[in-house]
Each structure stands twice: as C-alpha cells, then as structure tokens.
Amino acid sequence: MKLIEKPIKVVESDSFDSVSFGIKQSGLPYIFNILRNQLYSNKPLAVLREIACNAQDANIEAGSKRPIEVKLPSKLDPTLTIRDFGNGLSADDIKNLYCYYGESTKRESNSAIGYYGIGKFAPFSYGDNFVLISYHNGKKTTYNAFIDETKIGKIVKLKEEKSSEPTGVVVSVPIREEDTETFLKTAVSLFKYFKNKPKITGARKEDVAPIYDRKPVFEGSCWRYYGQRDRSYYHSDNSVAIMGVAYEIDGDDVAFKDDTLQSLCHQGFEVDFALGELDITASRESLEYTDKTKKAIRAKFKKIKEEIAESISNQFKTSDNIFDAKALYHQVFGTYGSLGYVIRDSLNNKVTWNGKVINDQIIPFTDKVRKLISTGTLTARFYSKSRRSSKLVSEAEETRIVCEKTHKILVNDTGSNMGVTLRLATLWNELGDQIEGSYVFSFKDDDSRVSFDKELGLIAKNYLKLSDYEKIEIQKVTSGNGVVASKNPKHSSQIFKFKRDDARSWGTKSSNWETMSIDLANDEAIYVEINAFEAKSKDGTTSLGNGTLKDTLDKYEEFTGDKITELYGIKTKTFDSKKKIIKKNKKLVSLWDYMQDKLQAEFDKTAQKIIDSKHWLTHHNENEGDDFVELAQRIQKHKLHESIEDNNNPFSQYLSAVSFYSKTDFKKVSAVQDFLKTASFDIKFKDVQPTYNLIDLMKAVREKYGLLDVFVPDSYVWKYDSKAKLQKIVDYINLIDKN
C-alpha cells in the first residue's frame, strides 16, 4: 500500500558533528518486545488480520483467483492455519526479507494491503512460536519461527521435500484451548468485511454464516447499510472504512462541518476506500486522522447523503399504490431508528408519492368506508398473535389501516366468516416471522369492494385471497364439556427434519421438527427415531429433549469437525412398520451409528489421554490410592522428593507417576467422557494401556516400605503436612534403600 510521505528538507552546518540514530545489538530484544507485545491491543484480532492480509496480498501479487483458506482452531485441534496461493517464499526470501522487521515489498503498490513490514510477526504477540510452510518451485519447505533465549527470535528450516501442491505459504499458529471461541468470534467479525471472502473450515456453517450471508438494506456506489450493526467487533454505531480490512471511523475526529454528515457517520455505514486513500497507525488497528484522512472521509459521506436521498426518493416513485408507499415510509423512518431522522433531514422533511406528501404510515378510513362498516356491508377485523400465547386473536377495525411490510391484507372470498382463524394459521405457518398482523375484509358485494378500494387507494396486488389457505383440520376432544380443539397436522405426518438452530427442550416439541418426505427405500439420509417429537437415545430406553439433541450434535461437531447439516426424524410407529426397508437401504444411516463410527476414529487419536484420565480418576477415588496420592503430592509440594537418594526406587517412580498425572490437563478429556456418557456411546480403545500403572507402583511401594502400608491408609494424611514430619518419611525411604 502506498502512503504519501511528506518530504523533509534539512540544512546542516559544517561546524557541527552529527551522528545518525540506530539500535545496538544489546537493545534489539527490548525493541522487538515492543513491536511484538505492545503494538497490538487485540492480539487474536492482530494474528488473524495480519496473516490473512499477507495471504490476500500474496494472492493478488500472483494473480491467483483461488480464495485464501482459513482453518479455525477447535478444542480438538487448537491450531489456526491460513494458506495463500501466491508464489511462495524461496530460501533467499526467508533470509533477506521475511526475517527482518520493516522489510516489505508492498510500499510501491496500491493493490496490496501491507506496508510496514511488521505484520508477519503478529503471531509473536500471542505466543512464542509458529510454523511456516512454503510451497515454491516444486518443493515444500517447513520452517519453525520461535523466540529464542536472546528474546530476539529465530527461524529454522526443519525439512525440505518435493511437492506437487500449488505454490503458496501456510502459516500455522498454536492457539490455547480456552481461546478457540474467541478466535471464532474474531474471525467472523474480521472476515465479514473482506471483499474476497476466505474459504473457512474448522467451524460450523451456521457459526460463520454472518461472513457470507449479508444483504444490505441500502447501498450506493461506495457504501452499504445493513441495519443495526453487530456490537461484537466495535462498541458503537460508528461507521467503518473498508480499506482491505475494516477501520472504525470516529466521527468526532473527522471534524465534519455539516451536522447531517456527522449524524450519518454515527449510523453504522460501511464505506469503501481505495488502498492508501486513508492513513493508518503502525499497528493497523485504527485510522490516523491526518488532514488527508479527514478530507477523504468527509467527501465519502457527502456522497452518501446525496445518494441515499436519491435512492429513497426513487423507491417512493416506484411504489404503485398507497399501501406500499406508506409501508416504505415506516420501513425507512420507523424501522432504522435515528437513521430515519437523518434521512428525512436529507430529504428536507418532505417525502412525496404520486403528488401527495407522505408523513405517516396510516391510511385512515373515510366517512364512506365507516358507513360501509356501520351498515354491515363491510366487516373489517385485524388479527395478531396474543402476547401471552401463540394463538391468533382478533379485534374489529373501524378507523384505519397501519401500513407495514409485516402486515398483510386479505379479502374473505370464502362466503363465510367461519374458520377465518384456522385459515390464517396456515398463512402464519408459511410466512413465519415475515408476518405480524393481518387485516381481513369481508364485502357484502362487489360494489362495496370497488367503493372501498377507490376511497383508500388500494389495488388488487395489495390483497391475498383467504380461500388460498386451507383450514387446519379440527377434531372433537371427547371430554365432558365437549371442547373443540385444533389438531396439529404434524401429528398425522411420519417423517420430519430437525430444525436445529432454534431447538430447545421446553415449549412445543413439534415446533422443532419440520414436516418432510423422503424415500425410505432409496434416499440417502441420517435419521433418528422419534417419539412424541423427541429423539430416542442410542439404546432406545430414554428420550432426548430437543435442546439436548442440539447440544449433542454441537458437541459431536466440536470434537470431530464433521458437520451434520440435515437430520431426519422417523416416528416410532413408522420405524417399526418399515424396519426391513430401512435396514435394507445402506444409504439410510442411524444418527447414533454414524456418530459412533466417526467418534471412534476421532477418539482413537486421543485414546492415550482418555485412558490415562480414567486410570488417574479411578486410582485417586480409591481410599488407599487417594491417601498415597495425597502423601506424594505433599512431599512434592515441599520439594522433599529432591532429598530421595535413589531416583529409581519404587517410591520415586510412584512420585513421578503422580506428578505426571496431576500436571496433565484432563479438562478436554473430561468433557469428552461426559459427552459419551450422556449420549450412551460405547467407545472402546484397544491395546491402550495407562502411561503409568499407579496400582502396580503403589503395590511395589507398600511391599518395600512396609511402615507406609501401616500408617498411611485409613489415616489422617493431613497429620503429615508439616515439612518436618514429611522429612522423616523421606529419611525412612532412604534408610530402607540403603539396607
């Protein structure tokens, strides 16, 4: 990225000695520490942003159309990996360019994001090492970059081999397990602003959907508005400048001369700038508000003001009826909060449609319409969902129509006012959150309909026909009071698709399952048997709440990285009657069998740690084992194990084993075991033995040091907590060893 630098002209006198500034070797560790650890305030963001931007630049330089690839860290594989498809790095590039702070090839190009030559070391702001793999000239060369004892840092070549892989560079950074979620959220907030979206793996599709599934409410030649902005990345509604990556714009620092422009800047616009058009700080975390930067931002928001006013005016012009025009008025000025006021100011508080001033979202009933209602020629009712339940309720409407995109107008063409609510329930099921209310007008004759439309300005396209929506079937409940209740059509269906995103273990169970149809004999699918709209467990003895089923799928994907995009439910009655057909179709796989196979393969990789965890927990929970463990830990706490003269005796071996197990982090393994237990999976690990057999080691200790077997088990080990008493035990060990 080219940055404009102001030339400096200095006149020196020959009568003065001058010395240029520099950095001595002894000062390098301190300077490099500042560049690594104090330059970035948000280190996960810095790691992602700098590596990804370098990867984008490499692609641009090589003319590669292939998107960069980002594998996000997970708890099972806590490594961040970013790969580009550029030209790769030669050995000379590593030695003469990559190893040096401040070296960059991008300062003369406005097609590259980089400039300062320090972003490549951003991983050191988070940890002490990272791995770099270069694919160049048919070779794969692996390097390890690390902070050595000098605190300056080194990069060493680990190996070189032939490769047919595409050229490019891979950077892998180890991530702490507790930070994996932070890196996921940070990646979403960063990459959703990238013009060239990366290919992302290592996360669920729905978790990274905000990066790809974005549709602006308004947009112009160099700007977009998406509505209320996600606060996870920035903490205000300030707009952002997109210049390779996103930079928050502080409207106060821009010093706008026009109050309307100042207000626009606080509405969350995303504004495009050419690379190098704005100045940025050395950390690339924020803008530098030079005169150049301020001038460029003011010019863009002046353009936004002009274009948004023109865009809104054109939208009103394209509305062909009063309902759409007033619904648009509500959408623009009522939905987007303070932005609506800013836009209205841009339009000089005057919005017109068809020569009429629009200043609200209401179509009032005229005297003629009210007369139609009073004489019974017209029946008008408004339907909406009850706040206390999901039932539709209605009230007579005698004064107006409130125009909103989520309000629908229906004409009752069924010839009856019976069953209106049941038909509207079908409409609500179809539209979901796209409908919040509906007007239903029943006309006595065609003339009253024509008169109504003429008075209010409605046209045919404003209406839906009530007859187009089938009534939900009803059945009589055989109770003493003869109550009539609606019957959910799902109860007569047999196959469903799990609506995973909003699944929960409370509320209406059927709402988490969508009616579906599949060919049990031929289709490929993952299924689970369901009873009363809950999945049956692996052994078939219990049911899982829909929230528990969702959590099980989430945990499975977190542990394995495998994504289950669709899950079908087959009712128990159908499952029993079609069991032979289901069993014959090899492409139809039980969820539990599918997960069992994948989990077995994945957990084979961590079998040793799982077996060690089980062994340690079993030994620790045994009364005698727990006493010996506590004694060993107390001796190590006081560092008295260093006084044991024979490091290979049974007691020293037991101490080493206890130290190994107590220092091993079994948190992830514990989560895995809880998951397997909850889901009733039977994962077996063949031919895997504990790293140390604590039972055998403790037995050897008890056989050789008999007094320990007398005093330690079933006693109060806390009595041995003093260093002096523990020293006597160590002295006893040494005495027995000598004899």
CATH (domain of 70): 3.30.565.10
- State how far the Cα of 563 lies from the Cα of 500, in Å rounded to an integer: 13
pLDDT band at 542 (very low <50, low <70, confident <90, very high): confident
Is 60 exceeded by the pLDDT of residue 290?
Answer: yes
Instruction: Note whether 350 and 441 are same-domain residues.
Output: no
Angle, vertex CA 115, rays to CA 160 and CA 241, nearest 5: 120
393 membership: H or E segment, kind and range: strand 392-396
Instruction: Note whether 172 and 35 are same-domain residues.
Output: yes
Least confident of 100-104, 139-143, 165-169, 217-221: 100-104
Question: Contact, 75 vs 84, CB < 8 A?
Answer: no
Instruction: Note whether 460 and 509 are same-domain residues.
Output: no
Question: Contact, 654 vs 701, CB < 8 A?
Answer: yes
Is 60 exceeded by the pLDDT of residue 198?
Answer: yes
Structure tokens at 482: 């003869």
Question: Contact, 439 vs 466, CB < 8 A?
Answer: no
β-pairing, 129-136 vs 543-544, is: unpaired
571-578: average pLDDT: 88
Instruction: Note whether 661 and 567 are same-domain residues.
Output: no
Give me the count of residues in the chain.
Answer: 739
* Within a domain: 19: no
- State how far the Cα of 483 lies from the Cα of 474, in Å rounded to an integer: 11
Structure tokens at 336: 């987007």
Using the 3D structure, point to which of 569, 596, 623 is the last residue of a domain: 596
Structure tokens at 659: 């130290």
Instruction: Note whether 655 and 592 are same-domain residues.
Output: no
Least confident of 99-113, 382-396, 613-627: 99-113
Instruction: Note whether 463 and 530 are same-domain residues.
Output: no
pLDDT band at 611 (very low <50, low <70, confident <90, very high): confident
Instruction: Note whether 509 and 627 are same-domain residues.
Output: no
By C-alpha distance, which of 337, 317, 254, 248 is closest to 284? 248
The letter for the amino acid at 272 is: D
Instruction: Note whether 658 and 730 are same-domain residues.
Output: yes
Using the 3D structure, point to which of 445, 474, 503 is the last residue of a domain: 474
* Within a domain: 74: yes
Instruction: Note whether 413 and 499 are same-domain residues.
Output: no
In tens, the pLDDT along 720-732 reads 567 888 888 888 8
* Within a domain: 6: no
Instruction: Note whether 557 and 678 are same-domain residues.
Output: no
Least confident of 65-79, 124-138, 261-275, 334-348: 334-348
Grouping H, G, I as helix, E, B as strand and the rest as coil, residue 433 is helix
In tens, the pLDDT along 501-517 reads 878 777 778 888 888 77
What is the pTM for the complete model shown? 0.52
pLDDT at residue 479, as a whole number:
36
Using the 3D structure, point to which of 360, 380, 402 is the last residue of a domain: 360
Question: Contact, 125 vs 46, CB < 8 A?
Answer: yes
Number of domains in the chain: 5
In tens, the pLDDT along 549-570 reads 888 888 888 777 788 889 999 9
* Within a domain: 479: no
* Within a domain: 66: yes
- Does 225 or 299 have the greater pLDDT score? 299
Is 70 exceeded by the pLDDT of residue 167?
Answer: yes
Domain span holding position 583: 489-596
pLDDT at residue 485, as a whole number:
44
- Percent of residues, the chain, with pLDDT higher than 90: 32
pLDDT at residue 143, as a whole number:
93
Structure tokens at 701: 């200790």
pLDDT at residue 11, as a whole number:
54
Is 80 exceeded by the pLDDT of residue 334?
Answer: no
Please list, residue by residue across 448-483, b when 16 or more beta carbons sit within 10 angstroms of its beta carbon and e when fewer do. Answer: bbebbbebbebeeebbeebeebebbeeeeeeeeeee
* Within a domain: 482: no
* Within a domain: 11: no
* Within a domain: 381: yes
Instruction: Note whether 419 and 405 are same-domain residues.
Output: yes
Instruction: Note whether 107 and 198 are same-domain residues.
Output: yes
- State how far the Cα of 224 lies from the Cα of 154, in Å rounded to an integer: 44
- Does 117 or 112 have the greater pLDDT score? 117
Grouping H, G, I as helix, E, B as strand and the rest as coil, residue 568 is strand
